Structure 1
Amino acid sequence: MGKKFKIVMAVFLVIALSIGGVLGYYDAKLEASVTPKGNLSKVDVGDDVKFDNDVVNILLVGSDRRSDETEAGRSDSSMIATINMKTKELKLTSLMRDMYVDIPGHGRNKLNSAYSFGGVDLLYKTIAQNFDIKIDKYCVVDFSTFEKVINEVGGIEIDLEEKEADYLNTTNYISKKKYRNVKAGKHILNGNQALGYSRIRYVSNSRYGDGEFGRTGRQRAVLEATYKKIIRQNPMKILDIGFNALDDVSTDMNASYIKGLVTSVVQFGVPKVQQMRIPIEGTYMQGRAQSGMFVFFINFDANKAAMEHFIFSKGKEEDFASKFGGYQNIETYGYPAKPDSEDASESSPGSYKR
């Protein structure tokens, strides 16, 4: 279906809904379903953060908090979803959870520790302080939400490699045994299977790498496939999916903001979601910090520049690793470390072996 045709159909649908009073019903339902929590715009991150008035950055946090827990839980994944209203581009930046960063008020630790120490506000402060990026809104999603949404759209297509399929069928990453029957190649995964796939860490992927790099690459693939499947649904189905997901989502966006954002994105059509991973190649070393904790030491200057270029489309694309000193500009704080070319990731618990 062409982009112009979809937009025209959307306009006619809005008119029809307005006449029938259905739009008012959905507006009221959205208002009742959304209870904003907090406000990232009130978090003090100083004046040095980069921003663009045409760009909306949303911090996406995948939390592994279980339903019977009351604390913030641990940030299992952190991404920045970027919506460029001017260029109609969608971008997704993965932030590796094992990066060794300065957490305000808590010293140096892994990036994902910021969320358990102080929730989304501290996670944002940590990202802003270490990478100079302004974030406008946040959305914390429990992993069960992904499973529900993917099932509602009839599953998503993922290209599984042989080792990944074997791993999923012989481990408990797919929590329900009856679904441990996936095959290599392009495969429609249901919610439970897709969730298991997105958590794989100890199997290499030819596109994304191994260890934590493979895991974050798979997460981006699942998010993009889910977005593409949702956006192809009819508008009423999209609304229903959104309402069902809101029960498991914590956000500082109010109903009118969500409505405006969704309206804008739908009019983009189905653009390719551009993806990036931080740290970029040639700018990190792996090692052990305090208490033997596995971490990635990174070149902050190179990654700040790469993020600014990617998220805000500032300047020309460059070899940021070389421009900002590559490995030579990585601070390891006196801990032993190895370049990624020698040993890029932790491939098994307690192991340095790639």
Structure 2
Amino acid sequence: MTNEKTAKWRMKIKVFLLVFLLMSLGAVAIAAWANDEYYQARQDTIDEIEESGSSIESEHEIEFNVNEPEDDSLNALNLLLVGVDSDGGVARTDTIMIARYLPDEADIKLASIMRDTYVEIPGHGKNKINAAYAFGGLDLLRETIELNFDFDIQHYAQVDFDSFKRVVDTVSPEGIDIEVENRMFYEDRVEGLVIDFQPGTHTMDGSEALKYVRFRSDSENDFGRVRRQQELLSILQDEILSLSGVAKVPSLLGSVEPYIQTNLSNGKMMSYGRDFFLNGPEDIGTLTIPVEGSFTHEYYTHAGAVLEPDLNENNDALSSFLDPDTDQVTIHDDED
């Protein structure tokens, strides 16, 4: 090799090493910035919680008696997502969702289960599905879902509703635009809660958005609330996946982490999160259980007004929605 060729080759190596070094330093700087943003936001949330004297701990000791797969690769993730309101020291679950994430297909689906769905609760007979959480926490709720809907769940995320307000305020500090279709009004003088939205476009901060998704005092009742929850999740997904939204992810995660209890390891959360932001889905598929036309309105003294579902029809719908490649559906007896 001539001296001229040798010099050019050495120059290429130097340029390559310089570029590699700059990229490495950039990655380290970004990681350090993200780490600082995360821990600062997390500490701010913890300080606020301690100053307010409130508690976000569930009244139940969380257990989830399942075997964790040894394979750490990104396979299908089945997640029981529960939204709780711990006001007054008593944890109540108003939101029950089954989330299914398929990284290879960049697909996310959310099946919302109406809290008044009348089902068999292991060891407690029939009752509303949200009673399972009151009786035995997340583990009994998981068992109830698996018994009635034949769908295995290995992971959970229990989220306090205060975290929802923080997500909105962190992702979109100037608020998010929501189209209110009909007048929404509710007042609880005991709790000092007032929900009052006129029809039209509203720019809502976190507190207002939380009122919007929890409203149920109209003809739609819980069905309207579930629809609004799904609507807001889609809006927030678009905000987070935007360029400015992604830049806020470290502070977003840090600010809501103290409000979340989950059995997903930190490694898996980071892996799924990284995959989501690099190869996220365009839309979130949604389903509401019981599906339209598959239930009757009933009343029982011990449970009150309930939605009594046709489990065969709803199992078919849930199976086709969450796992369309399977044809296996367990047939339930119609006996009480």
* Alignment correspondent of 1:299: 310
**Unmatched 5+ stretches in structure 2:** 1-21, 44-61, 69-73
Amino acid at match of 1:63: V
Structure 2 CA distance, aligned partners of 1:76 and 1:278?
A: 14
Shift of 1:41: 2.8
Question: Shift of residue 132 of structure 1?
Answer: 0.6
Query: Is the contact between residue 175 and residue 192 of structure 1 (CA under 8 Å) also seen in structure 2?
Result: no
Cα distance change, pair 150–25 in 1 and its aligned pair in 2 (3 A): closer
Q: 2:78 maps to what in 1?
A: 57
| CA–CA distance in structure 2, aligned partners of residues 19 and 253 of structure 1 | 27
Q: Deviations over 1:316-352 (max 9, x none)?
A: 9xxx9xxx9xxxx99484xxxxxxxxxxxxxxxxxxx
Residue 95 (structure 1) aligns with: 113
CA gap of 1:20–1:56, structure 2 versus 1, over 3 A, is closer
Residue 81 of structure 2 aligns with an amino acid whose one-letter code is L
Q: Which residue of 2 aligns with 1:343?
A: none
Alignment partners' CA distance in 2, 1:266 and 1:109 = 39
The answer to whether the Cα contact below 8 Å between 1:17 and 1:23 also exists between their aligned partners in 2 is no
- Secondary structure in 2 aligned to 1:288? strand
Aligned to 1:17: 27
Unaligned ranges ≥5, structure 1: 1-11, 44-52, 205-209, 334-354
**In angstroms, what is the RMSD of aligned CA positions?**
3.3
- Tell me the equivalent position of 1:112: 130
1:263-309: per-residue Cα shift (whole Å, max 9, x none)? Answer: 11112245111110011111100111233611111111111111111
Cα distance change, pair 93–13 in 1 and its aligned pair in 2 (3 A): farther
Q: How does 1:65-214 map to 2 (within 5 A)?
A: 65-66=86-87, 69=89, 73-152=91-170, 153-154=172-173, 155-164=175-184, 167=185, 182-204=197-219, 210-214=220-224
Structure 1 Cα separation of the partners of residues 145 and 246 of structure 2: 35
Q: Against the structure 1 CA distance between its residues 228 and 38, is the aligned structure 2 distance closer, same or farther, given a 3 Å change threshold? A: farther
2:66 corresponding residue in structure 1: 41
Deviations 1:19-53 (A, max 9, x none): 566179469959x99xxx6445349xxxxxxxxx8
AA of the residue aligned to 1:134: D
Greater per-residue strand proportion: 2
Distance 2:210 2:235 in 1: 13
**Residue 106 of structure 2 contacts residue 279 of structure 2 at CA under 8 Å; is this kept in 1?**
yes
Mapped to 2, the partners of 1:100 and 1:57 lie a distance apart of 23
* CA-to-aligned-CA distance 1:149-179 (integer Å, 9 cap, x gap): 1112222232211323xx26x777x9777x9
SS, match of residue 62 in structure 1? strand
- Shift of the 88–23 alpha-carbon distance from structure 1 to 2, 3 Å rule, reads same
Quote the Cα distance in structure 1 between the aligned partners of 2:205 and 2:37. 30
SS in 2 for 1:285: strand
8 Å Cα contact 1:40/1:252 also seen in 2? no
Q: Secondary structure at the match of 1:247?
A: helix
The equivalent position to 1:228 in structure 2, one of 228, 231, 238, is 238
TM-score by length of 2: 0.74
CA contact (8 A) 1:297 1:330 kept: no
Which structure is larger by alpha-carbon Rg, 1 or 2?
2
For 1:56, give the aligned amino acid. L
> How far apart are the structure 1 equivalents of 2:279 and 2:299?
44
Asked if structure 1 preserves the Cα contact closer than 8 Å seen for 2:216 and 2:225, the reply is yes
Q: Secondary structure at the match of 1:97?
A: coil
1:349 maps to which residue? none
Residue deviations 1:202-258 (CA, integer Å, cap 9, x gap) = 224xxxxx1111111111112222222222235441111011100111111121111
Q: Distance in 2 between matches of 1:38 and 1:307?
A: 25
| Residues 14 and 258 of structure 1: CA distance in aligned 2, closer, same or farther (over 3 Å) | farther
Structure 2: distance between partners of 1:225 and 1:20: 27
Q: 1:271 is paired with a residue of what secondary structure?
A: coil
Given that residues 107 and 281 in structure 2 are in contact (C-alpha distance below 8 angstroms), is that contact kept between their aligned partners in structure 1? no
Q: 2:265 — aligned with what?
A: 254
